[in-house]
Chain A
Amino acid sequence: MRRLALVAALLAASGIASAQDVLIRNATVHTAGARGTLQATDVLVRNGRIAGIGSGLQAGGAAVVEAQGRPLTPSLFGGVTDIGVEEVSGESATVDATLALGANAADMQVRPEFDVTLAYNPESVLVPVARVEGIGWTLLSAGTRAGGSFIGGQGGTVRLDGSLDPIGPRVLFVSLGGDAASLSGSSRAAQWMLLDQLVDEVRGRIPQDSRFALLTPAGRAALSKYIGGGGRVVVRIQRAADIVRLLRWSKQRGVNIALLGAAEAWKVAPQLAAAKVPVFVNALANLPADFDELGATLENAARLHAAGVRVSFAQAGDASHNARKIRQLAGNAVANGLPWDAALAGLTSVPASALGVGNELGTITVGQRADLVLWSGDPLDVAHVAQQVWLDGRAIPMRSRQTELRDRYLRSPAPADAGGLPRAYPGDTR
């Protein structure tokens, strides 16, 4: 409630009348949907939903924002992150992203029932840092580490509006290939063996009390939702040969996959297109970081798109604190051949539909949540920034812990010999 009160106070101060009604007039509207880009267009928001898209729309009491031709987009997907699940990466007490019940790699604990969204803290400082840059939502991931298994557990999609619970269905995370081989007895071949065993357990072919059983009863129930035409399984995978094996396996078992990372996905783009598998690529990966990624290229996204694959983005490195960098991935994909509209879709409508939230967000379409961003210029170019973000039609305060620090050190304090207080005190300008 305090947060809501603060937002209301800020809106009052900035002269915006009603929290969830707004008319954004004369924008370059990138719908990321069927209507493409609309020049000099108005977007009307009522009760937090998009109520109209056109020209000459009447405000009818809603606050009016003059866009002056600037780009308006849906709020952006922040990638696959630990936003709100970690605060400081190097401090384990602040990180809840992975499960490791076992003592080490040999002591594998398979717990697909693990749900990382239960650790999500909507008041994390990472949330405002991301959303003032136009990031409106993200997929929380369940990571993989020694003492856990290559089945990371479940994540989900959260909107960065302060709400506690995810929207849309849960997603299961699995890691395959060389990176995860230490969690499958030193060989990636055993990943298929273990996956098949898990399927057998879910289907009751291995008794619950068998000494070979890996799953708890809750684990069986959780995993059953993803086998035989169920929920989305996001698979971290890089090497082309592994991807092809995954395509065969998932077809056989009726598993609805998406790829994450997928440095060599371009090599098997037609198969991915035929299987309608969405791919989350790190569009800046072009080095042979390991032997699974020898084919890494900046043209991965462009080649996948050209073959008809739905492409979204996800970062390696510091995906959470620097989630805002995902725009740079999209822009660089464009510089390397991906059509601009496809790149924007990769930050909006493609991940929304892949994650089962496409009816709620991801495009500027009548009826969708009014999660919108007005930009200073081309949103895929690092030369431009988000100027205003709306979530459910509410103009969010464009402030974060970083802007607070910035503003404290931006001002020139009164000198000490003039009785000036240290910067730790509110300045005259506040």
Chain B
Amino acid sequence: MSKPLTAALAAALTGGVLLAGCASAPSKPATTDAKPDAGFAADPYPSTYRRVMSPPVLLQGATVLTGTGARLDGADVLLRDGKVAAVGTGPDVPADAVRVDATGKWITPGIIDIHSHLGVYPSPGMSAHSDGNEATAPVTSQVWAEHSIWPQDPGFHAALAGGVTSLQILPGSANLIGGRGVTVKNISAITYQGMKFPGAPWGLKMACGENPKRVYGQKGGPSTRMGNIAGYRAAFADAAEYMRKRTEAAGKPEGPGKRDLKLDTLAGAINGDIRVNIHCYRADEMAIMLDLAKEFGFKISAFHHGVEAYKLADRLAAEGVCGALWADWWGFKMESFDGIQENIALVDRAPGGCAIVHSDSDEGIQRLNQEAAKVMANAQRVGISIAPEHAIRWITQNPAKAMGILDQTGTLEAGKMADVVLWSGNPFSSYAQAEQVYVDGARLYDRRDPSRQPRSDFMLGQDLVRGGVQ
């Protein structure tokens, strides 16, 4: 069976059963109503992220892809106080700066993956770890993926070695509305709050098509695509009513009453506080979802997977919706049967188009640069030339934009977070390796320095029997 099915769906199918087995945990009375007017996007589980301190770093003489569309040859990048201090030639360098000879190497912004299940479907893929789909009802907008994250997933470190500095972790696609996703910085921490990207908006995860109707077809529905749409509409109609009632009650002495966690999330999506991410493969279904968004007044940030996005690339661009896509996945189910290798290039080609390379995979996230390289090679085959300084935006600026963090990261511009990758060469190659990865100015990965290579608690002590297998 294919990866997409096993990771997101097969796990979902067993997930419900296992969760039911955990019902013996003691329950406390709900106390989530402390601040009636805290807004739909209030965060009772705030980020405790702290950057790792570092002296200034000067990366010298590299080919720099800024993520803004520019390429600078023989350029320097200065990192100071966790920020990008300067990009170009001959910056004023503090005396205590660590100098790194980057001659012949390439520098890009830290890679950003808008679609990951690290931590919620971690390695090892045990049944006890299957926490990505709350497959107990078709609408579970009340659940937050962050509450499922296992920070010890060794996949985070593997992704770091692939240059990934920020990622959005989403619920799976079993449900029509699966819950809130969270954006994290790729730093080792004991808690997910320690990874949580400060100030990043949440992402709402929705899913079109085959998965929800397959999961719920024999469990009360929806069992059809029309049932799917009816399900989204009912949920957003409830949210609209909820918002109206709370607004009306806001000034009254009895207050707005008990919060509805499910509708809070949907209200946040309508408000624009929570970014809407929709797993949707087929072009016709994406068009329906665009109409749904208009019907209920929310904005779609990105369609995910969208193997048919190329069929309506102009429409997506005109509506300002990004396509978060794979380079070459296809055929693992009917709705992915029309995948082509130029999908990302065609979404990118539309005037104003916003193409993103995403992974949805603990393997793919380690080499998003190579996925982009495939797109460039296939585009070239049909006469579309895409320069490295342009393509890098698919895995830096564009996901940052869709995730609402572009003001903080995603490009190498003075004042932004110093999330930076030093590559062994042109990153758009099978042979390129991330040599150093900086998160907020600190070198958190160094291929040549074992003291800068994090290991998960889980991996400790797994290899202590020397010569154990004879």
Contacts and interface: CB of A to CB of B under 8 A. Distances in A.
A and B: bona fide binding partners: yes
Interface of A: 87-91, 126, 240-241, 243-244, 267-268, 284-291, 293-295, 316-318, 320-322, 324-325, 327-328, 331-332, 334-335, 376, 380-385, 402-403, 405-407, 409-410
Interface string B123-146: 111100000000000000000000
B385 to A, nearest CB: 13
A268 B469 contact: yes
A400 B431 CA distance: 28
Given A89-B333, A384-B377, A402-B340, A286 B158 contact: yes
4 closest cross-chain pairs (CB), A and B: A331-B430, A90-B333, A321-B331, A317-B3
A91 B430 CA distance: 33
B195 interface: no
B330 A383 contact: no
Question: Interface residues of B: mostly helix, strand, loop or mixed?
Answer: loop
A90 B332 contact: yes
Given A89-B5, A289-B124, A380 B332 contact: no
A402 B338 CA distance: 7
A316 B2 CA distance: 9
A287 B430 contact: no
A383 B379 CA distance: 11
B3 A328 contact: no
A285 to B, nearest CB: 8
Given A88-B334, A332-B367, A322 B329 contact: yes
B430 A380 contact: yes
Nearest to A403: B340
A89 B430 contact: no
A313 to B, nearest CB: 13
Given A287-B154, A335-B433, A383-B428, A88 B123 contact: no
A189 to B, nearest CB: 17
Contact of B332 (A244, A285, A318): A318
Nearest to B426: A383
Contacts of B458: 288
A405 B308 CA distance: 10
Interface in B1-37: 1-5
A293 B377 CA distance: 33
Contacts, number: 141
B362 interface: yes
Nearest to A335: B431
A328 B430 CA distance: 6
B339 A381 contact: no
A406 B340 contact: yes
**Considering residues B4, B339, B429, which has the most beta carbons from chain A within 10 angstroms of its beta carbon?**
B429
B125 A331 contact: no
B338 A317 contact: no
Interface stretch (B102-110, B166-174, B368-376, B437-445): B368-376
Nearest to A332: B430
Contacts of B218: none
Interface in B198-242: 210
A406 B329 contact: no
B334 A328 contact: no
B429 A88 contact: no
A375 B244 CA distance: 62
6 contacts: A287-B155, A316-B3, A317-B2, A382-B373, A383-B376, A402-B341
A406 B313 CA distance: 13
Contacts of A286: 158, 366
Given A90-B5, A331-B431, A383 B331 contact: no
Given A89-B2, A289-B124, A290-B125, A382 B430 contact: yes
